Amino acid sequence: MTTIHDDPEEFAEDQLAGWLALHGDRVRGVHGGAVALPTEGAPPQVAVVVGGGSGHYPAFCGLVGPGFATGAVVGNVFTSPSAAQVYSVAKAADQGRGVVLSFGNYAGDTMNFGLAAERLRAEGVDTRIVVVTDDVASSDEVAQRRGIAGDFSVFKAMGAAAADGADLDTVERLGNAANAATRTIGVAFSGCTMPGATGPLFSVPDGHLGLGLGIHGEPGIRDVPVLPATDLAQLLVERVLAARPDGASTRVAPVLNGLGDTKYEELFLLWGRVLPLLTAAGLEVVEPEVGELVTSLDMGGCSLTLQWLDDDLERLWRADAYTPAYRKLRAPVAALVPATAVQEAEAEATVVPEATDASRRAADAARAAVAAMDELLREQEETLGRIDAVAGDGDHGRGMVKGIGAARRAVEQTGREAGVAFVLGRAGDAWAASAGGTSGVLWGAALEAFGRALGDDRETVAPADVVDAAQAFADSIVQLGRASRGDKTLLDALLPFVDELRAAVEQGAALPEAWQVAARTAVEQAAATADLTPRVGRARPLAEKSKGTPDAGATSMGMVLTRVGEVLAARAPKEGVVA
């Protein structure tokens, strides 16, 4: 809901006044909108004046500045500005080389911008019009389509051309070319609410999304069931690609746009699904934009825009721009070392230490154990999260899955020449980096400690050596976590395991047998934490609530130790080695 306002009827004027006060160092207000301040010493250029109703920020005034729009006309919320407002902004923006007026294809905008153009021409100002028609859902006829997030892409092309010194004919031609090359499809998750209104302009049925929304509060053309991110990406990409322009190239400039209430993190996630689909379709992605660029007040939803690039459009898309809401500066980015070069340098700098055959066999066992742990924790993610949610935030299962997944990828990418210390060191680094939080740090450090205790230079790896490594694993967690047995943490399962493992090995048991006996103890002690009250960690403030529920960390520790024991037992008959 649009909540902050005094008189809802004055919302558009009041928000613009605040925006002008904020950005008075780079724009000036005129009747109906804003105009960019001139750059000292810069030659005159074609004025690109964009606009439409309020409620779409950063469109339209947020795009005023060098390399983008010269001026923006701002109407009432979702309402075309008047012809007088358009005339006022265009007159102020004109630098003597002509004006291009550009806007989305809506009846009110077409009428008022058209009337203003006639008045400007009558006064000798050469004025052209470029209408944006990117919304593929609104009509099968291109000329009848609405302009939505593609406004951004078309405005960017004309602003860059004008900044480059192009004449009026060229700016107009490139604007029309940009529009002809641009396609958008959007979806709505919820409607938007006008200032002062008590309900949204439209609603989406529960469990559905509106396909093909407009940016003035228009609902989608039809409702479809809510989709997982992967399926939503597929829908957006397929719809836009199905409407690709005739003769289009294989280079595209994508815009994944949020409509006001969809969080940036959601858009980033969705982009991670969209990008592989574009690549799989044989497209070269050029400098994508992800964020809020053409919004609709507080509407929940997003849109995908593709502009198919030729050499001219690619140059304009890549060109610098500096506005209150959008900045693209090529020089700082060009000076950065490419990620591939950094990775190659890191790979060259990583020297795998010499390892004995015994250490390499132990490394193979570690790889098998990590893979088995990964499968186990994915199976148990929901259970662990449910246990953790009783007195925590319910993320233990997710965190463990992220950590072990990263560890598995790390060990699988490590060559077979590596020993167990190197392999588990890489696994620990990856776990800590990916999982984050206290649990991630503890598990990452403990895996490193286990590997370091075994080393890469042993000629044999005896059961007693593994016991010492397990002790190092536990000691690392004690030192970092500053917890003790009885605090209702994973140590309540781990420390009894180490004691039992040492006792069994000292009595002559083979390592797989000793490990499995000790793992059963760990599971029993993990279950017994249900009777304990947490004294450290996130569960401590809800100590009483946690009574009767075992600790999630202790539970996962028992599960992991049990699964590792199964791996050791399965490997021993084949290899005849303790590890």
List active site positions: 216
Secondary structure (DSSP) of 387-408: HHHTTS-S-HHHHHHHHHHHHH
Secondary structure (DSSP) of 273-309: HHHHHHHHTTPEE-S-EEE-SS--TTBEEEEEEEEE-
Distance CA 306, CA 253 (A): 6
For residue 301, list its beta bridge partners: 188
C-beta atoms surrounding 143 within 10 Å: 8
DSSP letter at 9?
G
User: Which helix (DSSP H) or strand (DSSP E) does residue 503 occupy?
Assistant: helix 491-506
**Helices 437-454 and 420-435, interaxial angle, to 10°?**
170
Distance CA 525, CA 498 (A): 12
Q: Is the dihedral of CA 263, 269, 273, 278 positive or negative?
A: positive
Among 331, 308, 342, 301, smallest CA distance to 211 is for 301
Tell me the two tokens of residue 140. 């099968």
Distance CA 526, CA 557 (A): 8
Are the C-beta atoms of 514 and 572 separated by less than 8 Å? no
